[in-house]
Chain A
Amino acid sequence: METIMVLIFFGMVAVMMAVTPYITRKTESFGVTIPEAAYLDPELKKLRKQYAAVIIVFSILLAAALFIAVSTSQLLQTGFALAVLVDIAGNFLIYLYFHRKMKAIKKTRNWAAGKKQAIIVDPKFRSQKLIFSNAWFLIHASVTAATFLMTWLCYGRIPDRIAMHYDFNGTPTDWVEKSYRTVFELPTVQLFLLILFIWLNTMIAKSKQQLNAERPEASLEQNVRFRRRWSAFMIITGLLMILLFFAIQLSFIVPIPIAWLSYGGMGAVLLIVVGAVLLSVTTGQGGSRIRVGNGAVQGRFQYDDDAYWKLGVFYFNRNDPSLWVEKRFGSGWTLNFAHPAGWIILGLIILIPLLLGVFFS
């Protein structure tokens, strides 16, 4: 059962990586700015196919290696952690190879000739409804508050030893002694998640406005819908996770079959991952796969900001006060690493879970 879950996980990651060049904006190819028309260039089409094939082959080999390692040595936890690291490094190196290749292709072509670059902005962009209101998080907040309240009121009913981990047969493998500190661990994590998701939703609205200079009107419409869809996804994902923690906490007080919890948990995670993949594929980066009217076509070329994209994926632009910008290779947003707040946020995102872990252990 665990092996199947792990294989599903690697399969999903492989699919997500393989489709990446197909869901980016059509003005980008492997982290390199291109004119929209060049996206259909046979050489670029071939590059995308090759990339997808290499990723799939690599993932199958990795999954097979993991499978063999686990069945001979039984070290699923270590093997899995190692495989994740190898997967991340491997995928990045494969990307990097294609990024270099794409850069070389760009050099041989004369795409920019005779075309003027421009940045297009709509000054009224931010007066539109870009995200679903943070008021939706009142539902999440109520569930979190209910978890805190329930834990406080029913403290006496919680058994003296709380099972923290189970194996797949439903046998507890890890116990902690009951105390006010340990019983409030999950509600605290819920609170952290609540704040995190409200902040992410706000950032979706605040992230940089990026219009395709070749078709600004269509791109504007796509961009608004792109933000709204991911905002809805954040609200739903947040609710699923907070509800899951509520259910686990409830199981300390009233008996809930472990199978329900573990299947519910796996179901929720699978739903979130599949949802993210489907949303990425149907929406595309910046909404580039959403069908809208074509709008007026401009004789302008997308502004070439390749110089600010280190290795094609790390944005580093001191002049740009934006904190969040659209990823170039993938779906979603990435930080401007030249922005000091970017590093602080990155630090906090790593530090807070670590501190929570230390405090509650």
Chain B
Amino acid sequence: MLMKIDLESDVPIYQQLHNSIMEGIASKELAPGDSLPSVRAMASDLGVNMHTVNKAYQILKQEGFIQIHRQKGVVIQPDQMPPADEPYLESLTGKLRPLISEAICRGLDEKQFLKICEKLYNDIQKVGEQWKP
């Protein structure tokens, strides 16, 4: 699996890293129990501060997508992935609302919007598809 980080982007690096790992898990390129590089190794490969990587890892850990062990290092959640429970649905709705509002303002109709969602949903599940520039 290849992860892409854009250093010039407005999206903070920790956020990009978080999203990349999440997408890796979604596309099954990162399987439960797979190990991730240590904070130091990941920061070294990316050439960024260790705090940045640590921040991304800590968020993923809090969300329950990875585990950080003293000995085994960083691994993708080997047991139960966090479920789509009530609090998650609430947060999802919260995040989608402004996105849909903007789409409506720009005149994107419901069908087109849903089509984009559907395409992304399928693309992510197809391994390697996120590599289309």
The residues of A with any CB-CB pair to B shorter than 8 Å are: 116-127, 206, 208-209, 211, 213, 216-217, 220, 296, 298-300, 303, 305, 317, 319-323
Contact = CB atoms under 8 A, between A and B. Distances in A.
Interface stretch (B30-38, B84-92, B101-109, B115-123): B30-38
B50 interface: yes
Interface string B68-106: 000000000000000000000000000000000000000
A321 B44 contact: yes
Given A121-B45, A208-B47, A321-B50, A300 B37 contact: no
B59 interface: no
Given A123-B36, A319-B49, A117 B6 contact: yes
B4 A300 contact: yes
A311 to B, nearest CB: 19
Contacts of B133: 298-300
Given A116-B8, A124-B34, A296-B131, A217 B2 contact: yes
20 contacts: A117-B7, A117-B8, A118-B7, A119-B5, A120-B3, A121-B2, A121-B42, A122-B3, A123-B36, A124-B34, A125-B37, A208-B44, A209-B44, A213-B4, A220-B2, A320-B43, A321-B40, A321-B43, A321-B49, A322-B45
Interface in B15-53: 21, 24, 30, 34-37, 40-50
Nearest to B47: A320
A54 B120 CA distance: 55
Closest 4 CB pairs of A and B: A299-B133, A322-B44, A209-B45, A320-B47
Contacts of B11: none
Contact of A322 (B8, B24, B47): B47
Interface of B: 1-8, 21, 24, 30, 34-37, 40-50, 131, 133
Contact of B6 (A116, A206, A211): A116
B5 A121 contact: yes
A123 B3 contact: yes
Contact of A319 (B5, B30, B45, B47): B47
Contacts of A216: 2
Nearest to A216: B2
B131 A119 contact: no
A123 B24 contact: yes
Nearest to A319: B49
Contacts of B8: 116-117
Centre residue among A119, A126, A320 by max chain B CB count within 10 A? A119
Given A121-B5, A126-B41, A209-B45, 5 more contacts: A117-B7, A117-B8, A126-B37, A298-B131, A320-B47
Contacts of A120: 2-5
B104 to A, nearest CB: 29
B2 A208 contact: no
Contact of B30 (A119, A123, A296, A320): A123
Given A209-B45, A296-B131, A119 B7 contact: yes
A303 B45 contact: no
Given A321-B50, A322-B47, A127 B35 contact: yes
B60 to A, nearest CB: 12
A322 B30 CA distance: 24
Q: Which of A209, A220, A317 has the most CB of B within 10 A?
A: A209
A303 B48 CA distance: 13
A320 B6 CA distance: 16
Contacts of A298: 131, 133
